Structure 1
Amino acid sequence: MNDKFIPLPKEFYQNPTLDLAKELLGCLIVKETNEGITSGIIIETEAYLGAVDQAAHSYQNRRTKRTEIMFHEPGHIYTYQMHTHCLVNVVSGPVGTPEAILIRAVEPNSGINLMLNRRPVTNFKNLTSGPGKLTKALNITMDDYGKTFYNSSLFIAKGKKPISIEQGKRIGIDNAGEAKDYPYRFWVTGNPFVSR
Structure 2
Amino acid sequence: MTPRAFFNGRSTAAIARDLLGRKMSYKSKRGIVSGYIVETEAYLGERDSTAHAFNGRRSAFNEALYGPPGTIYIYSLRGKYMFNFAAQERDNPQGILIRAIEPYEGKELMAANRSKNGFELTNGPAKFMEAWGIQDKKLNLTPVNKGALTLELESRRVPKKIISAPRIGVSKRGTATYAPLRFYVAGNPFVSNTKKGKIELPDYGWSNKVG
Task: State the Cα deviation string for residues 28-80 of structure 1 (Å, max 9, x = none).
Answer: 11100121100011000000000000100000111111111111111000000
The one of 147, 151, 157 aligned to 1:156: 151
Q: Is the 8 A contact 1:148 1:155 kept in 2?
A: no
Q: What is the distance in 1 between the residues matched to 2:58 and 2:113?
A: 34
The one of 169, 187, 190 aligned to 2:187: 190
Q: What is the distance in 2 between the residues matched to 1:56 and 1:174?
A: 9
**TM-score for both structures, normalised by structure 1:** 0.92
Name which structure has the greater RCO, CA cutoff 8 Å, separation 6+: 1
| 1:168 matched to 2:165 | yes
- Give the structure 1 partner of residue 103 of structure 2: 108
**TM-score for both structures, normalised by structure 2:** 0.86
Q: Is the 8 A contact 2:39 2:98 kept in 1?
A: yes
The one of 2, 5, 15 aligned to 1:11: 5
Greater than 4 Å deviation, 4+ residue runs: none
- Give the structure 2 partner of residue 178 of structure 1: 175
- Give the structure 1 partner of residue 31 of structure 2: 36
Shift of 1:180: 0.7
Q: What is the distance in 2 between the residues matched to 1:184 and 1:133?
A: 21
The one of 126, 131, 139 aligned to 2:120: 126
Q: How many residue pairs are counted as aligned between the two chains?
A: 189
| 1:70 matched to 2:65 | yes
Please list every run of 5 or more consecutive structure 2 residues that lacks an aligned counterpart in the other structure.
Answer: 194-211
- Give the structure 1 partner of residue 89 of structure 2: 94
Q: What is the distance in 2 between the residues matched to 1:102 and 1:56?
A: 11
Greater mean deviation of Cα atoms: 171-180 or 39-48: 171-180
The one of 51, 61, 64 aligned to 2:46: 51
Please list every run of 5 or more consecutive structure 1 residues that lacks an aligned counterpart in the other structure.
Answer: 1-6
Q: What is the distance in 1 between the residues matched to 2:108 and 2:2?
A: 26
Q: What is the distance in 2 between the residues matched to 1:60 and 1:128?
A: 32
